């Protein structure tokens, strides 16, 4: 299934820059994202957030207030991580989701930086830092996946935009 999704993305992304070439589907489980490539292709903020575990300013990103329908892809490897149907307004100023597209899409590790114990979330495909997950989300999951806009790229639904 992963391969099919990747192929669809590559075909759908004909006009995008070479990001789609770095798809992780070539060799499953082995991140193929090259840090030097990322430095050239990402903005400074996107690189800082995803590769150096930065956090964008709240209410500053592209997607914190977005209600557009579609899938949110990893900015580094194009893997679909979240979808608009599970996005909700958490009031924090960061895009918030109560569930990822699949548990296997996201890795969770304990983060004790800044004197807090938080659960960091990263892209399972390439290791990009996404944000943190907190246990204060809405039902049914009770989780809040707090993600930086800089880690995401919205692929809007083609069929959802009927006039």
Q: Which is nearer to Zn ion, 77 or 147 (CB)?
A: 77
Q: Which is nearer to Zn ion, 74 or 121 (CB)?
A: 74
Nearest distance from C-beta of residue 58 to Zn ion, angstroms = 23
To the query of whether residue 123 is one of the catalytic residues in this protein, the response is no
Q: 3-state class of 125 per DSSP?
A: coil
Is residue 147 near Zn ion by the rule CB under 5 A? no
Is residue 150 near Zn ion by the rule CB under 5 A? no
Q: Which is nearer to Zn ion, 38 or 146 (CB)?
A: 38
Pick out residues in 29-48 that bind Zn ion (CB under 5 A).
none
CA dist 50 and 99 (Å) reads 20
How crowded is the C-beta side of 5, counted as CA atoms within 13 Å?
Answer: 14
Token pair belonging to 58:
């709240």
CA dist 131 and 54 (Å) reads 9
CA dist 47 and 75 (Å) reads 10
Sole binder of Zn ion in the list 9, 71, 126, 152 (CB under 5 A) = 126
Is residue 146 near Zn ion by the rule CB under 5 A? no
Q: Which of the following is catalytic: 74, 76, 123, 146?
A: 146
Helix and strand element counts for the chain (H, E): 3, 9
Cα-Cα-Cα-Cα torsion 123, 128, 134, 138, nearest 10 degrees, comes to -50
Sole binder of Zn ion in the list 38, 71, 101, 128 (CB under 5 A) = 128
Interacting residue ranges for Zn ion, rule: CB under 5 A: 74, 76-77, 79, 123, 125-126, 128
């Amino acid at each position: 299934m992963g391969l099919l999704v990747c192929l669809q993305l590559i075909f759908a992304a004909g006009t995008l820059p070479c990001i789609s070439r770095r798809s992780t589907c070539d060799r499953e489980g082995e991140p193929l994202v090259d840090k030097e490539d990322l430095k050239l292709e990402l903005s400074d903020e996107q690189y800082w957030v995803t590769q150096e575990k930065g956090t964008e300013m709240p209410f500053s990103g592209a997607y914190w207030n977005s209600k557009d329908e579609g899938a949110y892809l990893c900015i580094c490897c194009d893997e679909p991580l979240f979808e608009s149907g599970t996005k909700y307004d958490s009031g924090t100023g960061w895009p918030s989701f109560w569930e990822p597209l699949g548990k296997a899409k996201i890795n969770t590790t304990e983060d004790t930086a800044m004197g807090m114990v938080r659960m960091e979330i990263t892209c399972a495909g390439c290791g990009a830092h996404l944000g943190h997950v907190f246990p204060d989300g809405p039902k049914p999951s009770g989780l809040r996946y707090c993600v930086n806009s800089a880690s995401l790229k919205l692929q809007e639904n083609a069929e959802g935009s009927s006039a």
